Amino acid sequence: MYQFDHHMEVNIIYVCKAIAYYSFNLIFQSRQNVMLFCKAPYQINWKEIAQQKKMEDKNKLDRVKARIDAIPDFPKPGILFRDIFPVLSDHGAFSDLIDLMTSHVKSLSVDVVIGLDARGFLLGPIIAQNLQLPFVPIRKKGKLPGKTIQVEYKLEYGSDIFELQVDSVKEGQRIVIVDDLLATGGTMSAACQLVTKANATTVECLVVIELKDLDGRSKVPSKVHSLVEY
């Protein structure tokens, strides 16, 4: 039971009318006080709400998929490149994408969002900002100032090095790593190794697109979640 002064009377009545699924009893004891008794929300159909949310998410994902382009023979002959830039150029589709990724990251209860060089920088900071979390970049060698920790990873021809700034991730923190694409898994695996070197934990690797035929997931030491699979 909650007791309010008479200045709250209009607000209380408005709220009660707005929430149709709840049962309220209003008792006016005097001109000076309003007493509000709230019964349990026995009429809420949680299953229906969950189904509605699932359908909304499916519609959002369909709009994102519709804006992903397939570019043949890029960056070299025989490669079919999946281009997410049309998604970013479409305000509605981009909003849908960020909503889906933000909602998923929120369910993970992480401390830090890490984005990979370079398209992970287009997604990670917005997700982090939405959830009021810090964003930390992982970049290729020579791109970050100050002291860094490094991990070398193999490319199709040769190798490269990923770097993470010292103290940008604290010991014991829970991390989600965000990127646009999971292909062979080399860069994502290296990013997970960097997080481990920082004595933190990669809770999940979140990507927009996963190329299933390349089986990059098997090379990544942490859980992988992708929104779209090809």
Pairing between strand 69-72 and 80-83? antiparallel
Question: Does domain 50-229 match CATH 3.40.50.2020?
Answer: yes
Residue 136 one-letter amino acid? V
Tell me the whole-structure pTM to 2 decimals.
0.81
Q: What is the pLDDT along the chain (230 residues), one digit of tens a residue?
A: 444 444 443 344 434 444 444 444 444 444 444 455 545 555 668 788 889 999 999 999 999 999 999 999 999 999 999 999 999 999 999 999 999 999 999 999 999 999 999 999 999 999 999 999 999 999 999 999 999 999 999 887 789 999 999 999 999 999 999 999 999 999 999 999 999 999 999 999 999 999 999 999 999 999 999 999 99
DSSP letter assigned to residue 217: G
What pLDDT score was predicted for residue 43? 64
Rounded to 10°, the helix 91-106/46-66 angle is 130
Residues assigned a catalytic role: 119, 156
What pLDDT score was predicted for residue 24? 42
What pLDDT score was predicted for residue 120? 98
The backbone torsions φ and ψ at residue 142, rounded to the nearest 5 degrees and listed phi first, read 90, 0
Q: What's the rounded Cα separation, in Å, for the pair 16 and 9?
A: 11
Which strands sit side by side in the sheet containing 201-210, from one edge to the other? Answer: 148-154, 159-165, 135-140, 112-116, 174-182, 201-210, 224-229
Q: Where are the alpha helices (DSSP H) in the chain?
A: 9-18, 46-66, 85-89, 91-106, 120-130, 186-197
How many CB atoms are closer than 10 A to CB 161? Answer: 14
What pLDDT score was predicted for residue 23? 42
What pLDDT score was predicted for residue 160? 94
DSSP letter assigned to residue 125: H
What pLDDT score was predicted for residue 13? 40
Q: What's the rounded Cα separation, in Å, for the pair 189 and 201?
A: 13
